[in-house]
């Protein structure tokens, strides 16, 4: 899930959501004016150091966490590594550093996370906040529930992709289907499989979007269609990227934002929207037939069941919660 500060967030959720997201009670003194609310419920421990805010600064991040232990050097390096890998995949100039740096807030409890992102993000595992002024990104912030092992594999790559795409499309509108569809390609294989299941259910019930309807959505659809929206967006992006490549795909998206889909499709791919829809549906049907025939999942999940996320094995749990709380929330849509 991505929020565009002072525009869509205010329009969709009202001023209260912004207050909840950015300027709730409690200030991190000395952290460049960044304001984060604090839970008053963290219990103190007489045997250990009292929990406090920790911050680590890298080339592209300011990483914040609250607890009795700070961010490990390995974790900070892994965040940079993942950003570099995603930037190299999608951007022509991958070496361009973020200015301002991205505030990455690692929450040690579900309550802390929910307090920061507000009611709209309560069902998510991570969220991104972007602000733009005059074609420049002026705020980058990612909030992550760092309460479960593997949080980095399941959420960070997705949210980093949103931030990178905001750079690429700072001057042109980025359609929601592209923003989410591309970000899902950085999700774990298991999460991508669940998005495909959502799409298959929608197709079986004939609840899917018409292609032109999906690509011209201005904002997220109503909540009951989120599963279809995420699943179909991911499938269409994956299809176009596999067929034509990452950067040509983003060039096509930029051309479509300027000249419309019909003209951009004809120029880039020699396709009409109707033909693209026909070919995409055939591709989805062929993939489904392949799964049934071969008994092999397309998502590439290893038969040993071990996730092959982008940071697998590189990152250790970095937040030491003052009070350990089980994370019972699940979220497919981020």
Would you say 236 and 211 are in contact if contact means Cβ atoms under 8 Å apart? yes
- Hey, which bits of the chain come out as E strands? 2-4, 52-57, 61-67, 102-107, 126-133, 136-145
Question: What is the smallest separation between the CB atom of 68 and Zn ion, expressed in angstroms?
Answer: 31
Cβ proximity to Zn ion, 51 vs 175, nearer residue: 175
Cβ proximity to Zn ion, 109 vs 334, nearer residue: 334
Question: What is the smallest separation between the CB atom of 259 and Zn ion, expressed in angstroms?
Answer: 26
Would you say 125 and 191 are in contact if contact means Cβ atoms under 8 Å apart? no
Question: What is the smallest separation between the CB atom of 303 and Zn ion, expressed in angstroms?
Answer: 29
Pairing of strands 52-57, 136-145: unpaired
Cβ proximity to Zn ion, 68 vs 233, nearer residue: 233
- Sign for the CA dihedral angle at 19, 157, 189, 311 comes to negative
Question: What is the smallest separation between the CB atom of 9 and Zn ion, expressed in angstroms?
Answer: 14
Question: What is the smallest separation between the CB atom of 183 and Zn ion, expressed in angstroms?
Answer: 4
Cβ proximity to Zn ion, 3 vs 249, nearer residue: 3
Chain residues in the site for Zn ion (CB under 5 A): 180, 183, 334
Residue in the block written with tokens 């699940």? 330
Ranges of H-type helices in 118-269: 151, 157-168, 176-184, 189-204, 211-215, 226-244, 246-259, 261-269
Cβ proximity to Zn ion, 64 vs 220, nearer residue: 220
- Among 307, 21, 1, 309, smallest CA distance to 126 is for 1
Contacts of residue 101, defined as CB under 8 A and 6 or more positions apart, other chains included, come to: 57, 58, 60, 61, 62, 140
Contacts of residue 201, defined as CB under 8 A and 6 or more positions apart, other chains included, come to: 207, 227
Question: What is the smallest separation between the CB atom of 125 and Zn ion, expressed in angstroms?
Answer: 10
Cβ proximity to Zn ion, 79 vs 322, nearer residue: 79
Cβ proximity to Zn ion, 235 vs 334, nearer residue: 334
Question: What is the smallest separation between the CB atom of 129 and Zn ion, expressed in angstroms?
Answer: 12
Cβ proximity to Zn ion, 105 vs 183, nearer residue: 183
- CB-based burial of residue 18 (10 Å sphere; 0-12 exposed, 13-18 middle, 19+ buried)? middle
Cβ proximity to Zn ion, 183 vs 215, nearer residue: 183
What counts of helices (H) and strands (E) characterise the chain?
A: 13, 6
Question: What is the smallest separation between the CB atom of 121 and Zn ion, expressed in angstroms?
Answer: 11
**Cα separation, 152 vs 163, whole angstroms:** 15
Question: What is the smallest separation between the CB atom of 90 and Zn ion, expressed in angstroms?
Answer: 15
Contacts of residue 57, defined as CB under 8 A and 6 or more positions apart, other chains included, come to: 63, 101
């Amino acid at each position: 899930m991505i929020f565009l500060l002072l525009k869509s967030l205010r329009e969709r959720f009202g001023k209260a959501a912004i207050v909840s997201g950015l300027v709730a009670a409690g200030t991190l003194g000395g952290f460049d004016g960044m304001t984060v609310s604090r839970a008053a419920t963290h219990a103190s421990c007489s045997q250990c150091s009292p929990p406090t805010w920790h911050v680590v600064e890298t080339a592209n991040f300011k990483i914040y966490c609250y607890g009795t232990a700070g961010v490990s050097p390995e974790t900070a390096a892994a965040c940079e590594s993942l950003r570099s890998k995603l930037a190299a995949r999608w951007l022509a100039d991958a070496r361009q550093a973020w200015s301002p740096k991205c505030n990455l807030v690692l929450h040690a409890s579900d309550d802390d996370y929910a307090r920061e992102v507000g009611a709209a993000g309560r069902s998510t595992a991570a969220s991104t906040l972007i602000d733009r002024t005059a074609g420049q990104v002026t705020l980058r912030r990612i909030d992550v529930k760092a309460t479960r092992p593997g949080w980095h594999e399941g959420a960070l790559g997705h949210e980093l992709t949103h931030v990178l795409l905001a750079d690429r499309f700072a001057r042109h509108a980025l359609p929601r289907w592209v923003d989410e569809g591309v970000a899902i390609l950085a999700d774990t294989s298991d999460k991508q499989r669940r998005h495909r299941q959502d799409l298959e259910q929608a197709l079986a019930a004939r609840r899917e979007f018409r292609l032109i309807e999906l690509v011209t959505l201005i904002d997220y659809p109503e909540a009951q269609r989120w599963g279809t929206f995420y699943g179909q967006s991911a499938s269409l992006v994956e299809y176009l990227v596999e067929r034509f490549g990452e950067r040509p795909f983003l060039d096509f998206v930029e051309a479509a934002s300027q000249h419309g889909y019909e003209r951009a499709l004809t120029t880039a791919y020699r396709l009409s929207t109707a033909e693209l829809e026909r070919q995409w549906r055939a591709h989805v049907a062929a993939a489904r037939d392949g799964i049934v025939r071969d008994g092999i999942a397309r998502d590439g999940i290893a038969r040993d069941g071990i996730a092959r996320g982008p940071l697998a094995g590189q990152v250790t749990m970095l937040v030491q919660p003052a009070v350990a709380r089980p994370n019972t929330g699940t979220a497919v849509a981020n």
